[in-house]
Structure 1
Amino acid sequence: MKSAIGAVNNTDLSMIFTDFKEITKARLAVSVVFSSLAGYLLGAYEISLVSLLLLAFGGYCMVGASNAYNQIIEKDLDALMKRTRKRPIPSGRMSVKTALTTAVVLTILGILSLLALSPKTAMFGAISIFLYTSVYTPLKTKSPLSVFVGAFPGAIPFMLGWVAATDDFGIEPGTLFMIQFFWQFPHFWALGWMLDEDYKRAGFKMLPTGNKDKGTAIQIIFYTIWMIVISILPVFGFTGRLQLSIVAAAIVLLAGLVMLFFAFKLYQNRDNVSARKLMLASVTYISLIQVVYVIDKFIS
């Protein structure tokens, strides 16, 4: 009897943990934490393990809170899409009250953790939550400009790490912000291209022209080129302490050109297969260049 009760409890705990991962979008949150830690390592004069842990925990909480608020606001729309209808709220596994409580607790824990690093870090974290939930989320059903607005909170994590390490906002974190800002357009438009039919079921307007056409593909190419240009700027010495060696810049440039190749393939083919390849290339690109930036700092 006890073993049966234990099995039930273990199942319940497993489901709670699974729902927590889904409501906070754990994979996305971890990738955001990775970006912020990379930014910290780039900015830090001396590395503090406590600061890294606070940044990782606070970053996860802030992203998790944003995603939870997002799923509360969009619960009815999520129920209309194949990709999201099995999320905790639309599936009925989690109540709105539970999700809201989770979001509020994560917000408080996140802000306190980032505040322990510096007031500026906490401020940027709070701004990211506000923009994501109060501007980006409601704008998704109204205008393709939502992607532009959403790129601001999405670009904060890389920059946030530098600010957490230095308590300073200047050309260096500004450059990190711009790299991730421009990266988001080809990334999210490739994703939007793949999921266009599903998004339209919920009334989301994610593609810049509203359609999977040449206009959208051209804009993807345009923003990818800007991303490449900004990502190699540190090799020219214009960006303060944020610097790149020639070898590192060549690697970053090559990674960007690979992404640009897939952007041109999307323009040529205009199909979901090409969009998926671009999306996967973009995910690889952002993680790769962050690793290259960090390694280059410590070996140069």
Structure 2
Amino acid sequence: MEAIETSVKQHSIVSDFKEITKMGLSLSVVFSSIAGYLLGAETVSVKTLIFLALGGYFMVGASNAFNQIIEKDLDALMERTKNRPIPAGRMSVNTAFLIAAIFTILGIGVLYTINPQTAMFGAISIFLYTSVYTPLKTKTPLSVFVGAIPGAIPFMLGWVAATNDFGIEPGTLFAIQFFWQFPHFWAIGWFLYDDYKKGGFYMLPTGKRDRGTAVQTIMYTIWTVIMSLIPVFGFTGKLYLSPIAAVVVGGLGFVMIYYAFKLFKNMTSHAAKQLMLASVLYITLLQVVYVADKFLRHLWI
């Protein structure tokens, strides 16, 4: 009996740790960072990849832990978040703060061992997410604009980790993921509108699930696809996309645009969920295509 209780307790601690750091989200950020690194690196360093993955995980984990500390009272009001460790009473604020502080130090420290610029962008990401984006979420829909900045950093962070330089190439990677944030989060804000409303969060650009929000979602989806195709024209330095890869990316973009128009047509939570899933598929496969295209081109050369 004691062994069972101990097992349950340990499972709860592990689960709460995963939830306070949002392990799933953190791993997706690590994926983006690694993709950016592979795009920028002339020679792949396994050591740098490991440090980038660890630093990225610590960075996002810290941001999420700070976010849940700040929003603990609001999280308790929403169905989606009321069972998080702090509002549910399974973790104290002091424990969460300790995790966030340790992750911040480890994240910036590990990224600094790669190069100072990588650490700087990591620190900017944590600051913007916790000190600007989080407080603004209950005040203005413009919070999504601010939140899109730290959300777009991981893809370009990998390139900076590989090159110790910020130029047109990482700037383009940043722009792609920056514009992508809007349809992605507005889709989430649409189908979680009622739950967000309980916590006082107004994430949609017009504050409502209306045609105005749907039109802006379409516009930013199109901008995302346009930004994703710019490297095929050779304007972005060492970041280049072959015509064949551009066709694939364009096809992925067409799917995402289709679901954005479907949201405009149907104006339903189901359509918003479909767009959200399409957006996740888009950014994931886009990064895979970019990396595969680079290495296949090098093989052919």
Q: TM-score, normalised by structure 1?
A: 0.98
What is the CA-CA distance between 1:8 and the residue it aligns to? 3.0
Q: What is the match of residue 56 of structure 2? A: 59
Hey, what's the Cα distance between the residues in 2 that align with 1:192 and 1:281? 15
Hey, what's the Cα distance between the residues in 1 that align with 2:153 and 2:215? 26
1:260 maps to a residue whose letter is I
Q: What is the match of residue 30 of structure 2? A: 33
What is the CA-CA distance between 1:14 and the residue it aligns to? 1.4
Q: CA RMSD in A?
A: 0.7
1:99 maps to a residue whose letter is A
Q: What is the match of residue 233 of structure 1? A: 230
Hey, what's the Cα distance between the residues in 2 that align with 1:158 and 1:84? 27
Q: What is the match of residue 133 of structure 1? A: 130
Q: What is the match of residue 75 of structure 1? A: 72
The alignment status of 1:110 with 2:112, answered yes or no, reads no
Hey, what's the Cα distance between the residues in 1 that align with 2:131 and 2:156? 21
Q: What is the match of residue 10 of structure 1? A: 7
Which consecutive residues of structure 2, in runs of 5 or more, have no partner in the other structure? none
Q: What is the match of residue 174 of structure 2? A: 177
Hey, what's the Cα distance between the residues in 2 that align with 1:9 and 1:161? 40
Give 3-state SS (helix, strand or coil) of 2:205's partner. coil
What is the CA-CA distance between 1:13 and the residue it aligns to? 1.8
What is the CA-CA distance between 1:205 and the residue it aligns to? 1.2
Hey, what's the Cα distance between the residues in 2 that align with 1:17 and 1:167? 35
Q: What is the match of residue 87 of structure 2? A: 90
What is the CA-CA distance between 1:6 and the residue it aligns to? 3.6
Hey, what's the Cα distance between the residues in 2 that align with 1:286 and 1:260? 13
Give 3-state SS (helix, strand or coil) of 1:232's partner. helix
- The residue correspondences of 1:130-279 to structure 2 (distance < 5 A) are 130-279=127-276
Give 3-state SS (helix, strand or coil) of 2:88's partner. coil
Q: Percent identity, aligned pairs only?
A: 67
Hey, what's the Cα distance between the residues in 2 that align with 1:226 and 1:66? 27
Q: What is the match of residue 281 of structure 2? A: 284
What is the CA-CA distance between 1:255 and the residue it aligns to? 0.4
For residues 165-223 of structure 1, give each alpha carbon's deviation from its aligned partner in whole angstroms, at most 9, with x where no partner exists: 00000000000000000000000000000000000111111000000000000000010
Q: What is the match of residue 118 of structure 2? A: 121
2:131 maps to a residue whose letter is S
Hey, what's the Cα distance between the residues in 2 that align with 1:83 and 1:11? 23
Hey, what's the Cα distance between the residues in 2 that align with 1:275 and 1:215? 14
What is the CA-CA distance between 1:11 and the residue it aligns to? 2.2
2:30 maps to a residue whose letter is V
What is the CA-CA distance between 1:9 and the residue it aligns to? 2.8
Hey, what's the Cα distance between the residues in 2 that align with 1:209 and 1:171? 32
What is the CA-CA distance between 1:15 and the residue it aligns to? 1.1
- Aligned residues, how many? 297
What is the CA-CA distance between 1:31 and the residue it aligns to? 0.4
Hey, what's the Cα distance between the residues in 1 that align with 2:126 and 2:29? 13
Hey, what's the Cα distance between the residues in 1 that align with 2:104 and 2:270? 38
The alignment status of 1:49 with 2:46, answered yes or no, reads yes
Hey, what's the Cα distance between the residues in 2 that align with 1:260 and 1:190? 13
Hey, what's the Cα distance between the residues in 2 that align with 1:110 and 1:7? 35
Give 3-state SS (helix, strand or coil) of 2:240's partner. coil
Hey, what's the Cα distance between the residues in 2 that align with 1:5 and 1:35? 42
For residues 69-123 of structure 1, give each alpha carbon's deviation from its aligned partner in whole angstroms, at most 9, with x where no partner exists: 0000000000000000000000000000000000000001101110000000000
